Amino acid sequence: MDREQMRKLQGQKLHELVEWTYARVEHYRKKMDAIGVKPDDIQTIGDIAKLPFTTKADLRDTYPTGMFAVPNTEMERIHASSGTTGNPTVVGYTKGDIESWSESVARCLVGAGATKDSVLQVSYGYGLFTGGLGLHYGGEYLGATVIPTSTGNTARQIRLMKDLGTTHLACTPSYALYLAEAIEEAGLSMEQFKLTDGVFGGEPWTLNMRREIERRLHIKAHDIYGLSEISGPGVSCECDAQMGLHVQEDHFYPEIIDPETGEVLPPGEKGELVFTTLSKRGLPLIRYRTRDITRLLYDRCQCGRTTVRMEKPDGRSDDMLIIRGVNVFPSQIESALLEIGEVNPYYMLTVDRVNNLDTLDIDVEMSESMFSDEVRRVEDIEKKIRQKIESTIGISAKIHLVEQKSLKRTEGKASRVIDKRHLT
Ligand SMILES: [Zn+2]
């Protein structure tokens, strides 16, 4: 489909989606009413910029099923995220949603050279995580033979892979490397396997890891991208050209926005990736902010597919702060503190806006060795940190030394930023 046809199709689907969602999801109806937008205002895909964004917080705030557009009984399946930082994110799929998701995954597999004669081993975890079942249904949709090994029991994985002639492997890139190691340790040669391709995702991985996997498993390693809010794996995937991930854009409409202003950026520019689920009816999401930083490539791919491609994301917008116009990453502050050495690398950033000026306050935990009642000494260290931070990030900050272990320890994604500016 050429770009013009694609945009026309996307426009029609968007209009239907917005009508469907406005009529059924109070959250969206309220949001649209608040800015005076009605479903009839959305006729072409270009009209999408009139619609409000959706964030993970919207899903958490309406936990568990407040944003479902159909009664729970009409959902064919429900998945949920781990919820390490609050309410789990619950996502529901109607029969049709499962079908379009499976179709997307099937297309990804075809991009990775699979056919109905392929043998797909799914070594992603099955369960609430969308990886296992997502790839499984995609493989079945394609007509391939699916082996649902799930994770673990590596010796059996390898045995089945060899004896059943697995051609395609789907798992996390780190597990692919682990399998490669185990195959080598077992004294087996890749000549004994029929493996040709892998689709790997679910965690960040580098180009070095790709080379390593390809070299050791004698395969082509394709990057597959997705997130459960949007459907799961299969939102985009690399073809044999490995020049970016083809987005299944008739199902998932991608935009790149400036994470600070929310403005849509011109084609080719780098910014935050946003998706609208054009086909979903169970949990339709409009302009969902993924927080992934990437760019979209519209030139035609070597493989001949006309769908837009996205680069492998290389950052998260929620890690980046823009304070007084300067991009600040919490990791910069962490390394500055580690260099000073007299404090623990535990800190909390508070950003606010007072009289139109951004303020940055940093709470830093004192280490045991520097714990001191001497006000003078504490002031000295505060000054030292202030100077160090200022020279590192280029803006000034107020430093507050706090007692040991007084800052919250979080598992998984540490949330070390409080942004009170409400810019989104
Ligand atoms: Zn391609």
pTM for this structure? 0.78
Say how far apart CA 238 and CA 98 lie, in whole Å: 22
Say how far apart CA 301 and CA 244 lie, in whole Å: 9
User: What's the 243 CA to ligand 1 centre distance in angstroms?
Assistant: 7
Q: Which of 19, 89, 101 is nearest to 61 (CA)?
A: 89
User: What's the 66 CA to ligand 1 centre distance in angstroms?
Assistant: 38
User: What's the 111 CA to ligand 1 centre distance in angstroms?
Assistant: 7
Say how far apart CA 214 and CA 12 lie, in whole Å: 41
3 state SS of 69: coil
3 state SS of 150: coil
β-strands 343-354, 309-310 pairing: unpaired
Q: Which of 229, 307, 226 is nearest to 53 (CA)?
A: 229
User: What's the 246 CA to ligand 1 centre distance in angstroms?
Assistant: 6
Cβ(399)–Cβ(386) below 8 Å: yes
User: What's the 311 CA to ligand 1 centre distance in angstroms?
Assistant: 12
DSSP tag of 271: E
Two structure tokens written together for 334: 């962490």
User: What's the 145 CA to ligand 1 centre distance in angstroms?
Assistant: 24
Two structure tokens written together for 44: 């072409």
φ/ψ bin of 22: left (φ > 0), alpha (ψ from -120 to 50), beta (otherwise):
alpha
Number of helices (H) and strands (E) in the chain: give both, helices first.
Answer: 10, 20
User: What's the 305 CA to ligand 1 centre distance in angstroms?
Assistant: 6
Beta-bridged to residue 294, according to DSSP, are 271
DSSP 405-422: T-SPP-SSS---EEE-S-
Q: What is the pLDDT of residue 340?
A: 79
Q: Which of 367, 361, 370 is nearest to 333 (CA)?
A: 361
User: What's the 256 CA to ligand 1 centre distance in angstroms?
Assistant: 20
Cβ(222)–Cβ(288) below 8 Å: no
Q: What is the pLDDT of residue 387?
A: 93
Q: What is the pLDDT of residue 274?
A: 98
User: What's the 308 CA to ligand 1 centre distance in angstroms?
Assistant: 9
User: What's the 25 CA to ligand 1 centre distance in angstroms?
Assistant: 36
Spatial CB neighbours of 81, under 8 Å, sequence gap ≥ 6 = 88, 89, 91, 128, 228
- Which run of H or E residues covers position 135? helix 130-142
User: What's the 301 CA to ligand 1 centre distance in angstroms?
Assistant: 5
Two structure tokens written together for 329: 């990453």
Cα end-to-end span (Å), the chain: 35
Two structure tokens written together for 270: 């780098």
Say how far apart CA 282 and CA 261 lie, in whole Å: 30
User: What's the 303 CA to ligand 1 centre distance in angstroms?
Assistant: 4
User: What's the 4 CA to ligand 1 centre distance in angstroms?
Assistant: 19
User: What's the 239 CA to ligand 1 centre distance in angstroms?
Assistant: 5
Cβ(135)–Cβ(233) below 8 Å: yes
User: What's the 304 CA to ligand 1 centre distance in angstroms?
Assistant: 6
Q: What is the pLDDT of residue 337?
A: 81
Say how far apart CA 134 and CA 142 lie, in whole Å: 13
- For each of the chain's 424 residues, which pLDDT tens digit applies? 999 999 999 999 999 999 999 999 999 999 999 999 999 999 999 999 999 999 999 998 999 999 999 999 999 999 998 655 568 899 999 999 999 999 999 999 999 999 999 999 999 999 998 999 999 999 999 999 999 999 889 999 999 999 999 999 999 988 998 899 999 999 999 999 999 999 999 877 778 789 999 999 999 999 999 999 999 999 999 999 999 999 999 999 999 999 889 999 999 998 999 999 999 999 999 999 999 889 999 999 999 999 999 998 876 777 777 788 777 777 778 778 877 777 776 788 999 988 888 899 999 988 776 666 677 788 888 899 999 999 888 889 999 988 888 887 754 445 678 888 865 4
User: What's the 397 CA to ligand 1 centre distance in angstroms?
Assistant: 47
Q: Taking ligand 1, which is a single-atom ion, which protein residues have CB atoms under 5 Å away?
A: 239, 241, 301, 303, 305
The 10 Å Cβ neighbour count of residue 218 is 14
- Which run of H or E residues covers position 103? helix 95-111
